[in-house]
Amino acid sequence: TPSRLIFSFLVRISFTFSIGYRHQQTTAKRVEEVEFDGPCMKTEVPGPRSKILAQQLEAIQSVVQVNFFCDYEESKGNYLVDVDGNRMLDVYTQIASIPIGYNHPALTKVMTDPKNMGTFVNRPALGMMPPEQFSEKLVNGLMVAPKGFSRVQTMACGSCSNENAYKAIFIWYRGQQFLSLVFSFFFQVPGCPDLTLLSFMGGFHGRTLGCLATTHTKAIQKLDVPSFDWPIAPFPQLRYPLGQFERENAQEEARCLEEVEDLIVKWNQKGRHVAGVVIEPIQAEGGDNHASFDFYRKLRGITKKHGCAFLVDEVQTGGGSTGKFWAHEHWGLDDPADIVSFSKKMLTGGYYQKNSFQPDKPFRIFNTWLGDHTKNLLLTEVIKVIKTENLLDQAKRSGKVILEGLYNLQDKYPHLLSRARGIGTFCAIDVKDEDTRNNLILKARNKGVVLGGCGTQSIRFRPALVFTEHHAHLFLDIFNDAIAELK
């Protein structure tokens, strides 16, 4: 309609001027205080030096997934510098794993403190011979626990965190019934029961065998690898804008919850009991798929009703990017989850667990290192920085700028962009198809912004917690330029 066209035109005009104006207002302060004044591109990415290094690496390792080689000594704050001297605004942060930017002074101070030398030189087997300060550092760093948790099990990465959390669930579940050590030697029930975990289509929980059985994103990740036959439930496919499809989305979530309960009942009846349900607060790798907070509250109720453990995988969503330290805190659960796994922005892996999920025998949850104590030292400082600089509030403010900008961009380019979504800085947008998405990521990178894809056609935005409104405006300016070239 004419009124719609006029409104769309005014939105585009407002978007163009507001970004430029606010960007100019904040630039001087940010440059003087903290870091680089913006991207600086000298070559295409990957550049000549990156290509030479890729050829060298190819002789001993696969390089098909390598984007470019980095100069981490020169990188700073929100800016990643590559080996060709290209300085890029990083809105992907090593697959969402850099909490407070590159080379933060608080972390370099920890690394250069002489009293930490022994910790960095010697890597202890934490399960058997932990260092003197181990308990203190766990309390100071890792014990930013979600409500309802006072126990933590450290691990090294997201996959091994979930893999061992699965084991803890199975051990707990059998403890609710009975356990036979004798039969376990013959790999048959009751010592080795045929238990299952329920997961969701579009979920990603890691690449080890157990985690792969609950991962349902890209076929290539599972090709040629044996897997467990476990139940898989549909995840809600919401329609956007959410405000226009409230009834349809509520029906879709109800359908998925009904299927979850039906699967649990059916698998229990055939003797392959569902010991637990694993889910992400936002399906990141699967395409930044969201569900309502009410969906998760009702899912928790179903797990309680049927005696299943409830595992929330916060490997990518944890650490503050949603505006709360843990994304599931937005749900308002009356009864906390049973286990919450973490990694990435937490610098180390692990999971929080309720007391009842702690095995009563040694070595049931174990490996040589059980994480890396040096990361606990660094995490202690990360937590201090997050608190003293109010970075959770910063994520809310910056996220608001990002999401409003994405809404405006999809109005400006409706033939290319759709389904802008997010909470805090944990945002995403869909591009019309996979090839266009990949092309847009490359164009943005060559203009000085590092982005990452997810799902079949989405771009995900994963900045560090020190990403301010200034950086958000700068990103939107460059992203707009890259999109304009696609026309």
pTM: 0.91
Could you tell me what percent of the chain has a pLDDT over 90? 87
HSE-up (13 A, CA, CB side) for residue 160: 15
Instruction: Kindly name the residue from 76, 137, 324, 344 that is annotated as catalytic.
Output: 344
Q: Distance of CA 245 to CAs 56, 240, 376, Å?
A: 52, 7, 44
Q: How far is Cα 78 from Cα 464, in angstroms, rounded to an integer? A: 7
Could you report the per-residue pLDDT of 167-203, keeping only the tens digit for each? 999 999 998 876 545 455 556 666 788 999 999 999 9
Establish whether 366 is a catalytic residue.
Answer: no
Identify the active-site residue in 109, 266, 368, 433. 368
* Per-residue tens of pLDDT for the chain, all 487 residues: 444 433 343 444 444 434 443 444 443 344 334 689 999 999 999 999 999 999 999 999 999 999 999 999 999 999 999 999 999 999 999 999 999 999 999 999 999 999 999 999 999 999 999 999 999 989 887 889 999 999 999 999 999 999 999 999 999 999 887 654 545 555 666 678 899 999 999 999 999 999 999 999 999 999 999 999 999 999 999 999 999 999 999 999 999 999 999 999 999 999 999 999 999 999 999 999 999 999 999 999 999 999 999 999 999 999 999 999 999 999 999 999 999 999 999 999 999 999 999 999 999 999 999 999 999 999 999 999 999 999 999 999 999 999 999 999 999 999 999 999 999 999 999 999 999 999 999 999 999 999 999 999 999 999 999 999 999 999 999 999 999 999 6
In CATH terms, the superfamily for domain 2-102+391-486 is Aspartate Aminotransferase, domain 1 (3.90.1150.10)
In angstroms, the CA 77 to CA 399 distance is: 18
Residue 460's nearest CA partner among 217, 289, 320 is: 289
CB count within 10 Å of CB 98 equals: 23
- Which ranges in 226-281 belong to alpha helices (H)? 246-269
pLDDT, position 411: 98
The question of whether 93 is a catalytic residue gets the answer no
Give me the CATH code for the 136-359 domain, please.
3.40.640.10
d(CA 233, CA 45): 40
**Active-site residue (options: 90, 313, 372, 477):** 313
Which entry of 68, 69, 149, 204 is annotated as an active-site residue? 204
Give the tokens for residue 1. Answer: 């309609």
Domain boundaries, the chain: 2-102+391-486, 136-359
313 is catalytic: yes
Query: Is 387 one of the catalytic residues?
Result: no
